[in-house]
Amino acid sequence: MRQLTALDTQFLSTESATTAAHVAGVAILADPVTRADLVTLLNDRAHLAPPLRMRLQGLPFGLDRPYWVDDPDTDAADHVYETTLPAPGDDRQLAEVVAALHARRLDRSRPLWEMHLIHGLSGGRTAVYTKIHHAAIDGVSGVEILGAMLDLSPEVRQVEPAAETITISPDLRTMLAGAVGRTMTQPVRVARSLARTVGDLDAIPLAASLPGARKVAGMARRFLGVRPAPTLPPLAAPRTPFNGPISADRVMAYGTLPLDEVKRIAKDHGMSVNDVVMALCASALRAWLRDEDALPDRPLVAAVPVSVRTARGTMGNQISVMLAPLPTDVADAGERLRTTRATMARVKRRFAASPTTWLNDVCGLLPAPVSALATPAVFRLASRLAPAVNLIVSNVPGPQFPLWMCGARVLAYHPLSVITDISGALSVTCLSYDGRLDIGIVACPSRVPDPWAIIDHLESALEELAEAELTETELTETEPTETEPTATVGPDQR
């Protein structure tokens, strides 16, 4: 039994009639797979992935954050579904089915995950769509779970069975006593959280756009005796079609870029792979906004989740967030790359100098019952005012060798994330796998009707950036010049 953190609980509170807070992915397999084989695989390996066998245990009236408790009766057969696409089974048909599944919230009365086996994809391929609630995993732990279900060859490996464990039922009196204790100490914890975060007010979504945020943060750091932080570029997000209240519907699109070409651009321009991903997004979104006659005259601002995970195999979220400008206002491709490199270097230096706990601290400022009631309304209201960010961009490092599921080779894996009123109606998530950069886009159709256009622009952006002219300095550089954060980017950062 383990209590959710304030950040984990925030992902539960975020859910509303228009928001589902799970992360997901679509695996494209080369060959057919049966539901029976998939269920057997999941049951045999569920002990390697704690979120597959844990459920929520809440307190009456939501008096405190809920707990994860082991569910010994979990059977994968209750979580695996099956459907078949009509002919011809093309990519857009698959995307429509997945988008409808991605829009549906998970049933909180049982372990918070589902898997959908989708037959009928053209070329004899099969798709497996998997979603797990964000309260249970982040990007890096999601990749760990995926790895536990995959094999290094077509032969399905045998794993050691789960060790005998004693299931401890939650004691209501103990949980209520803990709730009382946390309620009494809430003011102290809030004071400590504010002390840790006020010095980074200019790096926190929404707060960063407030007048005087940078000055208040600087004064707080001086008052607290904290060394001055590296300055950030302007982080006031412009209003775009991505921003405003979202609907309950979802659309998705997916695509793939050659990772070798992305790495070559990174090497030529002294950047990291993640910097190139940001430049690709800036280029694609510039083109899309220009087509919509909605290109703002200042950079978009992306929220970039960064993993600060230190232990493998643990449930919950160990992430922070960087705010990063996307130079959509820069017309020249080469200059856009150089601007991305410079701005990402600044935000990464600032991230390294900031406490990694600020996101959890901010989520814990309100008591759990108040947060659960207030979050959807606050997010909805904030979306009608000045946007906190324009979108989410995530980049998760994956294995650079082929993998198999139930004997079928995994051709691609397209990750999918969350959209909310406050974070924008668009998320772009990338995962590197076996020489590919697999991309998944989730959007609200009332704001981004056709996300396939963004996939097309990403492909064009790669060609544009590949042809960008090098400066004299870049011609002499052979390695990235900036130091990455020690964390992995992700729903996380490289």
In a domain, 472, yes or no: yes
Lowest mean pLDDT among 206-215, 243-252, 302-311, 357-366: 206-215
Q: How far apart, in Å, do the first and last CA atoms of the chain sit?
A: 33
In a domain, 115, yes or no: no
How many domains, the chain? Answer: 1
Whether the pLDDT of residue 211 is over 50: the answer is yes
Mean pLDDT computed over 213-237: 81
Cα–Cα dist 114/183, whole Å: 34
In a domain, 133, yes or no: no
> Residue 449 has what DSSP assignment?
S
CATH number at residue 377: 3.30.559
Whether the pLDDT of residue 479 is over 50: the answer is no
pLDDT of residue 385: 85
The tokens for 8 are 């984990």
Whether the pLDDT of residue 151 is over 50: the answer is yes
Q: Where are the beta strands (DSSP E) in 11-144?
A: 22-29, 54-57, 67-70, 80-84, 113-121, 125-133
* % of the chain with per-residue pLDDT over 90: 65
In a domain, 186, yes or no: no
In a domain, 267, yes or no: yes
User: Would you please indicate which residues are annotated as catalytic (active-site) residues?
Assistant: 134
pLDDT of residue 491: 37
Backbone angles phi, psi at 322, to 5 degrees: -105, 140
Whether the pLDDT of residue 490 is over 60: the answer is no
- Residue of higher predicted confidence among 228 and 135: 135
Whether the pLDDT of residue 474 is over 80: the answer is no
In a domain, 404, yes or no: no
pLDDT of residue 476: 64
pLDDT of residue 488: 42
C-alpha separations of 42 from 52, 68, 276, 404, 405 in Å? 9, 20, 36, 14, 11
Whether the pLDDT of residue 407 is over 90: the answer is yes
Mean pLDDT computed over 227-232: 79
pLDDT bucket at 309, cuts 50 / 70 / 90 = confident
- Residue of higher predicted confidence among 351 and 284: 284
In a domain, 214, yes or no: no
Instruction: Determine the residue type at 134.
Output: H
Whether the pLDDT of residue 329 is over 80: the answer is yes
Whether the pLDDT of residue 212 is over 90: the answer is no
pLDDT, tens digit, 9 for 90 and up, residues 89-122: 999 999 999 999 999 999 999 999 999 999 999 9
Instruction: For residue 280, give the nearest of 327, 320, 316, 248 by alpha carbon.
Output: 327
pLDDT bucket at 213, cuts 50 / 70 / 90 = confident
Instruction: For residue 291, give the nearest of 68, 452, 107 by alpha carbon.
Output: 452
| pLDDT, averaged across the chain | 90
Domain around 313? 233-393+439-493
pLDDT bucket at 18, cuts 50 / 70 / 90 = very high
pLDDT of residue 168: 67
- Residue of higher predicted confidence among 111 and 162: 111
pLDDT of residue 356: 79
In a domain, 365, yes or no: yes
pLDDT of residue 215: 82
pLDDT of residue 313: 63
pLDDT of residue 164: 67
pLDDT of residue 486: 35
- Residue of higher predicted confidence among 265 and 196: 265
